[in-house]
């Protein structure tokens, strides 16, 4: 069996490739943007990657083509696939038919925190001896890969609400059939797909319709959009979680630096542990993962022990270098809420240091200007902001950032941005690169420049 994956370097489709390889399938694929860490992971798996979307890559014809949602009609390889009548399917459908069937699926959904929560949950199950499979939109450091077939009936999947494929405009997660479902939060996003929050709520409502009555839904307690979702219909027992008092599962920090946490379950059992993460958003993520793990028979104490050994996720506040006491991080944050919470967490953890941010507004929602009004506020706690301005940003973009004043440094060239940063970052700075793409390798370039000019 030979499958060819269109859009293979996305985290989801790259995971599909890894699962297919584990099942003994020959896998090839193509993409237009080939960069680490996914390109590295695929090559290590022995997957041949074709750069570009020309029709010639379909010679000889594969048995099946798995189509990523980055592909659209009019694309040369898509048109060739349809003209030749080559059997094809979507990534989510392939996953459901070939991996998830007859398994206890634990799905993690929501606007923010899916990757970290799913990574924590997979690690907790693994640490407790359950050998789960998983498909996650990032690479958990504990595993070193974004996907694994697993050896048990448990499978953890990051349940994305983005559309499935050009021929199936439903959200990806409606294909997964979860028995345990985590709802982290719900905000408006993906403005290129959904016209408003009601359109997103409708897709999440379809997801809730797929969860059996014998399953479990675990939801963030204080989220008003999740309240509206549950009121649309829920047929499954439900647990709430939150860092306040009005939730079934609660958690709190035990110290100002947020290095020790305490979690209490619905029965009043509590426990503490040290961990390597920080931030209230990550505490909520951990709480959701612990609650979900209980549905697989993992005890609170087992979960806490696993969290103490959780190493984080690549590109989720991943500390990639330290040069002359300048710490450099790679982070995937690209929504104002995630940006704000990440910066706030760093301010609490490093109160005596400057938190400086380099950000690339790359998502379709950001480019459409949907977040213009919220972006400056989300960056307000940063000491300096280096903003890369893509050519296709709307004209209102600059004026929306005016509240940042002289803390804002804006560039339309990656090299000029890095050059400016290299002369202004100071010893002790916590430097965060935020992008859901490659950022023109700016982080790597800055690291190299500092190693050359600052290292003693």
pLDDT digits (tens, 9 = 90+) for 315-346: 888 999 999 999 999 998 778 888 998 999 99
CB crowding 330-365: b at 16 or more within 10 Å, else e: bbbbbbbbbbbbbbbbbbebbeebebbbbbbbbbeb
Are 383 and 354 contacting, i.e. CB atoms less than 8 angstroms apart? yes
Q: Is 435 among the domain residues?
A: yes
Domain boundary pick from 92, 117, 136: 92
Query: Which residues fall within 8 angstroms of residue 447, CB to CB, at 6 or more apart?
Result: 320, 321, 323, 328
Same domain, 257 and 346: no
- Write the CATH number for 332: 3.90.190.20
- Write the CATH number for 59: 3.40.50.720
Rounded to 10 degrees, the C-alpha dihedral 217/218/224/230 comes to 10
How confident is the model over 114-134, as a mean pLDDT? 97
CA 365 to chain centre: 16
Q: What is the mean pLDDT of the chain?
A: 93
- Write the CATH number for 266: 3.40.1190.10
pTM (2 d.p.) = 0.87
Query: Which residues fall within 8 angstroms of residue 242, CB to CB, at 6 or more apart?
Result: 220, 221, 222, 249, 250, 284, 287
* 297-314 tens-digit pLDDT: 999 999 999 999 999 998
Same domain, 178 and 277: yes
CB crowding 11-37: b at 16 or more within 10 Å, else e: bbbbbbbbbbbbeeeebbbbbeebeeb
Q: Is 97 among the domain residues?
A: no
Q: Is 131 among the domain residues?
A: yes
Same domain, 324 and 353: yes
Q: Which domain holds residue 213?
A: 102-307
Q: Is 188 among the domain residues?
A: yes
Q: Is 373 among the domain residues?
A: yes
* 45-65 tens-digit pLDDT: 899 999 999 999 999 999 999
Same domain, 346 and 444: yes
Same domain, 88 and 107: no
Q: Is 312 among the domain residues?
A: no
Domain boundary pick from 63, 92, 121: 92
Percent of the chain exceeding pLDDT 90 equals: 79
Sheet of 104-109: strand order equals 147-148, 133-135, 154-158, 104-109, 180-183, 216-220, 238-242, 249-253, 260-264, 270-274
pLDDT of residue 40: 80
Domain boundary pick from 307, 338, 358: 307
For residue 7, the 8-state DSSP code is T
Same domain, 216 and 287: yes
Are 148 and 27 contacting, i.e. CB atoms less than 8 angstroms apart? no
Q: How many domains does the chain have?
A: 3
Same domain, 130 and 276: yes
* 374-426 tens-digit pLDDT: 889 999 999 999 999 988 787 788 888 999 999 999 999 999 999 999 999 99
Same domain, 268 and 145: yes
Same domain, 284 and 332: no
Same domain, 49 and 159: no
Closest CA to 322 of 434, 438, 450: 450
* 188-234 tens-digit pLDDT: 887 788 899 999 999 999 999 999 999 999 999 989 999 999 999 99
Are 66 and 96 contacting, i.e. CB atoms less than 8 angstroms apart? no
CA 418 to chain centre: 26
Same domain, 30 and 113: no
Q: Is 313 among the domain residues?
A: no
Are 339 and 382 contacting, i.e. CB atoms less than 8 angstroms apart? no
At residue 48, the 3 state secondary structure works out as strand
Query: Which residues fall within 8 angstroms of residue 286, CB to CB, at 6 or more apart?
Result: 117, 120, 251, 261, 263, 275, 277, 307
Query: Which residues fall within 8 angstroms of residue 199, CB to CB, at 6 or more apart?
Result: none
Same domain, 195 and 229: yes
């Amino acid at each position: 069996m030979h499958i060819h994956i269109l859009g293979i370097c996305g985290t989801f489709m790259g995971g599909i490739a890894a699962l297919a390889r584990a099942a003994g399938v020959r896998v090839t694929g193509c993409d237009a943007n080939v960069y680490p860490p996914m390109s590295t992971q695929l090559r290590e798996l022995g997957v041949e990657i074709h750069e570009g979307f020309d029709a010639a890559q379909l010679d000889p014809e594969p048995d099946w083509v798995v189509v990523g949602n980055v592909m659209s009609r009019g694309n040369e390889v898509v048109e060739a696939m349809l003209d030749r009548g080559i059997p094809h399917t979507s990534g989510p459908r392939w996953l459901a038919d070939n991996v998830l069937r007859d398994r206890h699926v634990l799905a993690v959904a929501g606007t923010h925190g899916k990757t970290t929560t799913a990574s924590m949950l997979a690690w907790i199950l693994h640490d407790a001896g359950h050998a789960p499979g998983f498909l996650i939109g990032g690479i958990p450091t504990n595993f070193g890969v974004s996907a694994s077939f697993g050896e048990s009936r448990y499978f953890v999947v990051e349940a994305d609400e983005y559309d499935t494929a050009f021929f199936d405009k439903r959200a990806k997660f409606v294909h997964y059939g979860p028995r345990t479902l985590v709802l982290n939060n719900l905000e408006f996003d993906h403005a290129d797909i959904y016209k408003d929050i009601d359109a997103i709520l409708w897709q999440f409502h379809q997801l809730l319709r797929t969860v059996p009555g014998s399953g479990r839904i675990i939801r963030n307690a204080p989220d008003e959009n999740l309240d509206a979702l549950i009121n649309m219909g829920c047929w499954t027992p439900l647990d709430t979680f939150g860092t306040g008092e009005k939730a079934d599962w609660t958690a709190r920090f035990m110290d100002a630096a947020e290095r020790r946490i305490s979690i209490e379950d619905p029965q009043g059992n509590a426990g503490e542990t040290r961990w390597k993460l920080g931030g209230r958003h990550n505490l909520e993520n951990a709480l959701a993962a612990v609650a979900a793990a209980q549905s697989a028979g993992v005890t609170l104490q087992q979960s806490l022990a696993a969290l103490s050994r959780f190493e984080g996720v690549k590109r989720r506040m991943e500390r990639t270098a330290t040069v002359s006491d300048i710490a450099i991080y790679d982070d995937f944050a690209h929504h104002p809420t995630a940006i704000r919470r990440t910066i706030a967490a760093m301010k609490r953890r490093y109160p005596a240091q400057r938190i400086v941010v380099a950000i690339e507004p790359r998502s379709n929602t950001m480019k459409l200007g949907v977040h213009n009004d919220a972006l400056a506020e989300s960056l307000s706690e940063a000491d300096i902001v280096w903003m890369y301005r893509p050519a296709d940003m709307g004209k209102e973009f600059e004026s929306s950032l005016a509240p940042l004043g002289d803390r804002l440094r804006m560039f339309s060239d990656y090299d000029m941005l890095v050059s400016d940063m290299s002369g202004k970052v100071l010893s002790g700075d916590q430097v965060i690169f935020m992008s859901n793409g490659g950022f023109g390798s700016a982080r790597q370039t800055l690291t190299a420049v500092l190693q050359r000019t600052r290292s003693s």
